């Protein structure tokens, strides 16, 4: 291996970090590859379960919201509804859930086949299998919009397993004109900084091999697969046929990568002990541009025995900048390769680097070295960018990679993380929760539950909105998948969604939405007072802020309760009239609302009406004369005394 060769320009030469070739394998033809991070549910569709007469409810909600029925399921108890263009799935779940006759509404979630790529050499790619990429591909397979710059010996531009994933400059044309005004004419597929032309073809093999690890087209029935099944590889040639190049060309390549807005730079090269301010400043510029810089830890000295980078720094991986990931190589047994450098503070993690099968110019073959290990990490960084790029920056992507490693005893104490790259855990770092459901509702609480799909979340943030308002944070929980929201208003429509969060990485996409209407608070303190022989006065406390009115029920003796009145809102008393005297009655009251339904009952009260006879009709008696009845009653005696007194008075007057 060439090391620290000085170029004619007195700049430190950059050297390849591989060891040897093994026998090549032949390419095979097949179908084209595909891959992306798919949406967790079908856009524009929801599934509705009905709780009552489904045909009536279905006609009602389709009419109100302008929905179309795609399918009826399970004897019509469920329906798959197509949403109008203006309505999101989240809005549909929130709105339709509140309709009468609807038990629940949820997105039409997507389930995927557990795909293993059909590339014929994939079974020999042990590095992909040991890093859990098969599980990672269940969630993400790459995006053509993600740009990974391969600063190396160039790339075989005609390799059938790479062509579809080679970047094309969108603002350049093969017309002899510098269309993008960067001083490089017709840089359609990157640039050759060694020869100063627009043909970054590989005359060594190293760059093609690294590129295949990062992004050979996956599942195309041909050769090998890359960590990314889809990606845009940007060839930037700075190393010659012997694998050597200058820092000045490296700086030009980094500047080009910054200009074109790449997401990741793969740097499978380096040299020992020669610190370059210019090189560090260029990588700092990439940091400022938000670009992750993945660099090889180095392959030891001329004895091919790994060195301690803490005491003998290796550059550019050893500059300690926040955008650098320094990578060493491990074997398929999980041991650090004998030739691989290490460092407790200067080397971040290990990745497969020994006997790695990948693309070579016009063919396939195996190489070993920290260069290969670096390409695995760059590939995973690109894959993570396709999943989380809208939620986090390069620091978050870097943290996902470092926090998700598989602990390895061979790397403990000699690397920062003490672990080996784990693609499955990294891709699942902050997957959105799903299965959000309401598990309990009272007048002032809602209890939620969801599925935790993340591997690196520090906790979950529960977001709530009231009615059609804006989302606010209702609370956070750590290491739990349940939450009880308290202190709510009664009879109120609330909508929830949940996100996973990590202080370094950021937040996941939100879960699906779920809605709940809190129950109405029941009236309390019910009292009853018998105010006459035929009436009772009821009074109670109004505890609800959302009732449309109150419902009063009464029972007599051993009979059942029956409704006797419905009152308006904010009423706290009622007089029940037309009752029988000396009779015991029982009462209870509850609030009702058009949205929230009915509250639970108040306390029950009992009361007995007063005794006595109500005035009746006059008795019969002939000739219109007065009939005196009473049978010794007090009223009858008084009447007789009055008549006698009047007769005596009349007799005295006549005498006078």
Whose tokens are 């920056």? That residue is 393
Catalytic, 39? Answer no
Active-site residue identified among 97, 156, 192, 206: 206
Catalytic, 152? Answer yes
Strand partners, 483: 448
Phi, psi of 629 (to 5 degrees): -125, 170
What's the first-to-final CA gap in the chain, in angstroms? 159
Q: What angle do CA 574, 579, 583 make, to 5 degrees?
A: 110
Checking phi first, is residue 45 left (phi over 0); if not, alpha (psi -120 to 50) or beta?
Answer: beta
Strand partners, 16: 269
Active-site residue identified among 371, 386, 515, 599: 371
Q: What angle do CA 284, 285, 289 make, to 5 degrees?
A: 115
Would you say 353 and 333 are in contact if contact means Cβ atoms under 8 Å apart? Answer: no
Strand partners, 403: none
Query: How far, in Å, CA of 210 to CA of 368, rounded?
Result: 11
Distance (Å) of CA 645 to CA 389, 392, 638, 639, 649: 111, 109, 11, 10, 6
Strand partners, 308: 342
Long-range contacts (CB closer than 8 Å, 24 or more residues apart) made by 391-397: 391/430, 391/505, 391/506, 391/507, 391/508, 391/509, 392/505, 392/506, 393/290, 394/263, 394/287, 394/290, 394/291, 394/292, 394/323, 395/322, 395/323, 395/504, 396/502, 396/504, 396/505, 396/506, 397/292
Distance (Å) of CA 116 to CA 20, 124, 442, 638, 645: 29, 13, 48, 111, 121
Catalytic, 206? Answer yes
Strand 142-152 to 264-267 pairing: parallel
Active-site residue identified among 152, 156, 348, 493: 152
Query: How far, in Å, CA of 214 to CA of 228, rounded?
Result: 6
Residues acting as catalytic residues: 152, 206, 371
């Amino acid at each position: 291996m060439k090391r620290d060769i000085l170029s004619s320009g007195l700049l430190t030469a950059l050297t390849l970090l591989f060891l040897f070739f093994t026998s090549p394998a032949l390419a095979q033809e097949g179908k084209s590859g595909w891959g992306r991070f798919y949406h967790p549910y079908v856009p524009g569709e929801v599934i509705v379960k009905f709780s009552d007469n489904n045909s009536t409810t279905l006609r009602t909600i389709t009419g109100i919201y302008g929905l179309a029925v795609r399918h009826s399921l399970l004897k019509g108890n469920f329906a798959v509804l197509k949403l109008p263009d203006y309505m999101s799935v989240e809005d549909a779940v929130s709105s339709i859930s509140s309709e009468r006759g609807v038990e629940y509404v949820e997105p039409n979630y997507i389930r995927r086949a557990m795909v293993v790529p059909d590339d014929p050499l994939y079974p020999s790619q042990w590095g992909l299998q040991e890093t859990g990429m098969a599980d990672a591909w269940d969630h993400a397979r790459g995006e053509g919009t993600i740009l990974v710059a391969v600063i190396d010996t160039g790339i075989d531009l005609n390799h059938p397993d790479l062509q579809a994933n080679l970047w094309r400059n969108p603002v350049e044309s093969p017309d002899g004109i510098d269309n993008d005004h960067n001083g490089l004419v017709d840089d359609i597929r990157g640039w050759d900084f060694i020869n100063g032309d627009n043909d970054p073809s590989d005359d060594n093999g190293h760059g093609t091999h690294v590129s295949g690890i990062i992004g050979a087209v996956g599942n195309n029935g041909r050769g090998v697969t890359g960590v990314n099944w889809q990606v845009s590889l940007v060839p930037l040639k700075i190393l010659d046929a012997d694998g050597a190049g200058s820092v000045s060309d490296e700086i030009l390549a980094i500047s080009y990568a910054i200009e074109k807005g790449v997401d990741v730079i793969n740097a499978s090269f380096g040299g020992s002990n020669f610190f370059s301010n210019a090189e560090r400043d260029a990588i700092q510029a990439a940091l400022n541009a938000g670009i992750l810089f993945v660099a090889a830890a180095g392959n030891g000295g001329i004895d091919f025995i790994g060195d301690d980078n803490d005491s003998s720094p290796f550059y550019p991986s050893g500059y300690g900048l926040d955008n650098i990931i320094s990578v060493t190589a491990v074997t398929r047994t999980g041991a650090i390769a004998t030739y691989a450098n290490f460092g407790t503070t200067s080397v971040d993690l290990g990745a497969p680097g020994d006997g790695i099968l990948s693309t070579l110019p016009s063919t396939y073959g195996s190489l070993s070295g920290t260069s290969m290990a670096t390409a695995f990490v760059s590939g995973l960084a690109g894959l993570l960018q396709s999943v989380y790029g809208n939620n986090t920056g390069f620091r978050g992507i870097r943290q996902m990679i470092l926090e998700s490693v598989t602990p390895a005893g061979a790397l403990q104490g000699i690397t920062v993380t003490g672990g080996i790259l784990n693609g499955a855990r990294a891709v699942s770092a902050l997957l959105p929760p799903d299965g959000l459901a309401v598990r309990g509702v009272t007048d002032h609480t809602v209890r939620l539950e969801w599925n935790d799909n993340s591997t690196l979340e520090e906790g979950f943030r529960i977001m709530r909105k009231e009615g059609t308002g804006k989302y606010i944070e209702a609370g956070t929980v750590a290491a739990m998948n349940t939450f009880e929201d308290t202190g709510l208003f009664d009879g109120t429509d609330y909508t929830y969604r949940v996100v996973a969060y990590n202080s370094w990485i950021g937040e996941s996409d939100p879960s699906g939405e779920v809605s709940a209407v809190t129950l109405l608070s029941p009236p309390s303190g019910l009292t009853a007072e018998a105010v006459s022989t035929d009436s009772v006065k009821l009074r109670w406390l109004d505890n609800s802020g959302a009732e449309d009115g109150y419902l009063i029920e009464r029972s007599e003796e051993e009979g059942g309760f029956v409704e006797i009145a419905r009152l308006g809102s904010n009423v706290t008393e009622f007089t029940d009239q037309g009752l029988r005297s000396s009779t015991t009655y029982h009462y209870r009251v509850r609030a009702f609302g058009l949205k929230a339904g009915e509250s639970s009952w108040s306390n029950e009260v009992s009361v007995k009406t007063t005794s006595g006879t109500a005035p009746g009709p006059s008795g019969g008696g002939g000739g219109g004369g007065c009939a005196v009845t009473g049978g010794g009653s007090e009223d009858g005696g008084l009447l007789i005394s009055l008549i006698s007194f009047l007769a005596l008075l009349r007799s005295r007057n006549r005498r006078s």
